[in-house]
Amino acid sequence: MSQQVPVQIRRATMADIETISAFNSALARETEARILDAQVLRSGVEAILQDPHKGWYAVAVSPHESAQPTVIGQILITFEWSDWRNGIFWWLQSLYVDQPYRQQGVFRQLYDYVYEQARANPEKVCGFRLYVERENHQAHQVYGRTGFQETAYQMHEIDFSGSP
């Protein structure tokens, strides 16, 4: 791993909508070879940013020599109620680190931020969940090193959005 890039982690705001949308589009291309509808994607990001009941994004911001700090990574948190645990699972989704900043500890800093937010949450966060594209072996390794374990569950879906 290269030297860790220093970042600040914060909750995303509407000012981040274009970057988050672009990162989500790149994520879909890189991991699933999918091209997402830009307007649908932007509307989806906007919906999260406007309604914290749907979830929230955290972004990694790297200060540059220029006057403007740059968002270089993101993670989305959404919620699933577990009646078995009487608590909320936080789903970690839409994790993306911009290409030049990969392998420099950005994911770990985003994850640590989310972990601390969960531990400080007044609601009962009973754990984290995430899904990984089956062939994304690098992501499987990264998440394994972070402490995630593969479960016995497989994911199935019915997609009413009309997307392939």
pLDDT in tens, 78-128: 999 999 999 999 999 999 999 999 999 999 999 999 999 999 987 789 999
Mean pLDDT of 131-153: 86
- Its domain, for residue 93, covers 8-146
**Whole-number pLDDT of residue 45:** 98
Number of folded domains that form the chain: 1
Domain containing residue 63: CATH number: 3.40.630.30
pLDDT higher than threshold 90 for residue 38? yes
Residue 151 within a domain: no
Question: Rounded to whole angstroms, what are the CA distances from 93 to 74, 96, 128?
Answer: 9, 9, 10
Alpha-carbon distance of 132 to 34, in angstroms, equals: 15
Residue 159 within a domain: no
Residue 61 within a domain: yes
CB of 138 within 8 A of CB of 37?
no
Of residues 68 and 53, more confidence is placed in: 53
Report strand pairing: 87-97 vs 8-11.
unpaired
Mean pLDDT of 7-29: 97
Consecutive H or E run containing 91? strand 87-97
Structure tokens at 10: 């914060």
Which of 49, 55, 64 is closest to 18 using CA atoms? 49
Helices (H), 51-105: none
Residue 127 within a domain: yes
**Whole-number pLDDT of residue 65:** 59
Which of 16, 12, 41, 39 is closest to 26 using CA atoms? 41
Mean pLDDT highest for which of 11-15, 64-68, 137-141, 147-151? 11-15
Alpha-carbon distance of 110 to 124, in angstroms, equals: 21
Alpha-carbon distance of 157 to 154, in angstroms, equals: 10
pLDDT higher than threshold 90 for residue 139? no
How confident is the model over 43-64, as pLDDT tens digits?
A: 999 999 999 999 999 999 987 6
154: number of CA atoms within 13 Å, CB side? 2
Of residues 31 and 48, more confidence is placed in: 48
pLDDT tier, 144 (very low <50, low <70, confident <90, very high otherwise)? confident
Residue 157 within a domain: no
